Amino acid sequence: MPNNRCNSCLSGHTYEITQQFLSDIGHAECTGIYQRIIDETEIGMLQAVMEHTQGNQSKAAQLLGITRATLRQRLDRHQLRG
């Protein structure tokens, strides 16, 4: 990982995971990886925050800095609400 390019821990991990993904696909035809990475990152984040708050959507939304309605929309989008 290049020095001074990724200042935060999260951006460093994202950089490494993206590099690994690109290595894994090699020269295969693949498009739309931006949205795929955003979606998969969001899924993991939502799962971790919901676990951390023991399923409390109000606390999760507050921690994420979004409204409860937005949280519910995101959970529904990724089929994470049961």
Question: What's residue 6's pLDDT?
Answer: 47
The winner for highest mean pLDDT among 2-6, 12-16, 25-29 is 12-16
Domains in the chain (CATH in brackets) are 1-30 (no CATH), 32-82 (1.10.10.60)
pLDDT tens-place string over residues 18-70? 999 899 988 888 889 999 999 999 999 999 999 999 999 999 999 999 999 99
Q: How far, in Å, CA of 57 to CA of 81, rounded?
A: 10
* Nearest by Cα to 42 from 82, 2, 78, 10: 78
Report yes or no on whether pTM surpasses 0.85. Answer: no
Question: What's residue 27's pLDDT?
Answer: 83
Sequence-distant (≥ 6) Cβ neighbours of residue 42 within 8 angstroms: 74, 78
